[in-house]
Amino acid sequence: MKIAICQSAGSPGRIGKNLQAMEKAAREAARRGARLVIFPELFLTGYDIGEKVLQLAEDREGPSAREAAAIARRTGTALLYGYPEKAAGRVYNAARLVDEGGGFAANYRKTHLYGAVEKRLFHPGDRLVMAEVAGVKTAILICYDVEFPEAVRCLARAGAQLVAVPTALMRPHCRIARTVVPARAHENQLYVAYANRCGRETVLEYCGLSCVADPRGEDLARAGTGPALLLADIERNVIEAARDENAMAADLRPTLYNAPPQEAGA
């Protein structure tokens, strides 16, 4: 499966403009052969917009979701995008996956909220999510989630072949995109697609540096600091080859890690 990452500054607070940008990117990605297009964290609304994000929150089947589904049908591409989800009186930092026919494929709620602002605005999700896209087992995390090795390891052990990560990584934390993301791909022998924002939004300056890291921890594609549309091929045989070269997955000892370490001299 060929995937695309749309690295974008977006239009803060303007859902209609962001949906237009989504369609433009999806059309170009489809023209270049992509089956899945991944957009940044809270792409529909903007990330650093304060309390306004609560006002713009929608049900996962709300009007923006219906328009995204229509874009998927018109372009023939699956779409993964970040948005604020309103459900049962709570708001979640969420990502919605729509299949290439416009059907609902998955919805993920960020499980590790970053910093005081996110914890004030959003309720944390409580489960990991995986769905199949064009024959590829695709898991979803959002930004800070991928910095927890346990989350990615859990998904890898469940059979994930691709971990797709809408994100809003800001300066000075660019080491996450450069170092941590490829490490997650290598240590779990799967693909990680990291779709970041770029530019400045209120007080935050985003790193860009979106990437697709392969199961050996190598960059397949890497953006700079400005708007970009990255493309990369996700190949199951590369995953199999990486696991043949290095038996890391087979050599894991989960019971060892769950036991407390023995104190010296005991």
> Which tokens is 79 given?
């779409």
User: Rg of the chain over CA atoms, in angstroms?
Assistant: 18
pLDDT of residue 266: 60
What pLDDT is recorded for position 248?
85
Q: What is the pLDDT of residue 119?
A: 98
Q: How far apart are CA 216 and CA 160, in angstroms?
A: 15
224, 257, 238, 225: which is closest to 189 by C-alpha? 238
Q: Which residue has the tokens 């059907």?
A: 103
Alpha-carbon dihedral angle through residues 16, 100, 146, 22, given to the nearest 10 degrees: -20
In this predicted structure, what is the pLDDT of residue 247?
85
Task: Supply the pLDDT for residue 131.
Answer: 98
Q: Give the dihedral of Cα atoms 57, 228, 230, 100; nearest 10 deg.
A: 40
Please say whether the beta carbons of 107 and 80 come within 8 A.
Answer: no
Find out whether 124 and 77 touch, Cβ atoms under 8 Å: no
DSSP 180: I
At 166, is the secondary structure helix, strand, or coil? strand
| Ranges in the chain, pLDDT < 50 | none
pLDDT tens digits along 165-217: 999 999 999 999 999 999 999 999 999 999 999 999 999 999 999 999 999 99
| Domains in the chain with CATH codes | 2-253 (3.60.110.10)
Catalytically active residues are 41, 110, 143
